[in-house]
Amino acid sequence: LEYETFSSIFSIKANSQENYMKNLLEKKNKDSMHAYYNRNKISNIYSTITYFINTFGPIIVLLLSLLFIPEGELNIGTFIFIFTLSSIYFQNFSSIFNTFNTLGTLKNNMIKINDITEQKDTDVYSGEERLETIKSIEFKNVFFSYPGQKNYTLKDLSFKISSNEKVGLAGPTGCGKSTILGLIIGIYKPTKGDIYINGINISDINIDEYKQKIGFVPQEPFVYNKSIKDNIIMNRDLEEEMINKSLESSNLVQELTNMPLGLETIISEGGTNISGGQKQRIIIARSIVHNPELLIFDEATSSLDNQTETIITENLKNMTQTQIIVAHRLSTIKDCNKIIFLINGEIEDSGSYYDLVSNNKKFEEFSK
């Protein structure tokens, strides 16, 4: 909560939510302080017990030695030996005591971690059919609803995207554009209906290999606390020429020239040392660097200025891969071969931009 609050402090202030977030933080702080108090109380009890054992344990052993060892057999050497040996023993006993205390703390932490790491994916595709290339994507009477929701987010969608086609998804906020992308990528499964890749049901194909043929740019790009180069290649074995080409296409070359370390510039945690536009361009470079067969852009240029967006749009237009584009600026998808216009999770119409503007009043209103 603290990290999220400070990361979004601009939005909090802009929306006058300071008091609300302050109350949440104070409650979180009180809960944390209570847990800290209980933990330290137990820790202090352990420390007190081990201190007394370490201090008085050897003395007790010496007193017992005086009582049970015959008087003639106890000398200074034996006395020192017993004291030294018992001190070492009780110190080790204290270490064991502290180890159990540490293990108890680790156990509580691991329970929380295991809840996440051991959570099994539900309804994951497990097909084995391998695809050499992506020739077509087809939706047939697809319905989709999110878990816990009664109403369908998408209703009876049927359309086909062919190889090398550039397709735009347009419609008002909440009409299901990003959900369609999730279904195409294989993150979601249709509630009803079928999705076919090259005429093969998506549930029958090897989904991991299929995803490797896709380049995806999400709405909210996330960068890691690594170098710009690491953020682009993402541990993939790529040639330098491919990296340079992706930098040119995403209009990052000039930006890197102005950075002393260039590609080796380390991005800070949360990407606070780069702009939103630079983040988006790094993610665009990441999505195209491996020359994927299918490019999917979910409002990929929303943080860019008009000039930069125009340059990148022109660069993407020259690429031959199949492209599926969601854009808040219709100028980005004007030149698509086909635009699928959605309203309330249903396909209202589809066609070229100019056909829709000329023949569909709702699209004409939407495009203004």
- Condensed to tens digits (0 to 9), the pLDDT of residues 93-139 reads 666 666 666 666 666 666 656 655 565 555 568 888 999 999 999 99
49 within 8 A of 97, measured Cβ to Cβ: yes
Domain 164-172+206-366: assigned CATH number: 3.40.50.300
Rounded-to-integer distance, Cα 25 and Cα 19, Å: 10
Rounded-to-integer distance, Cα 157 and Cα 108, Å: 47
**Residue 241 pLDDT grade (very low, low, confident, very high; cuts 50, 70, 90):** very high
The ranges of the chain annotated as CATH 3.40.50.300 are 164-172+206-366
pTM over 0.85: no
Give the per-residue pLDDT at 222: 78
107 within 8 A of 114, measured Cβ to Cβ: no
Q: Which residues contact 285 (CB under 8 A, 6 or more apart)?
A: 232, 243, 246, 247, 249, 250, 252
pLDDT reading at 361 higher than 90:
yes
Give the per-residue pLDDT at 119: 54
Tell me phi and psi for residue 314, to 5 degrees: -65, -40
Mean pLDDT calculated for residue range 343-358? 94
Q: Which residues contact 75 (CB under 8 A, 6 or more apart)?
A: none
Which range, 60-64, 84-88, 104-108, 225-229, has the best average confidence (pLDDT)? 225-229
Q: Where are the beta strands (DSSP E) in the chain?
A: 136-144, 154-162, 166-170, 192-197, 200-201, 214-217, 294-298, 322-326, 338-343, 346-351
Give the per-residue pLDDT at 320: 85
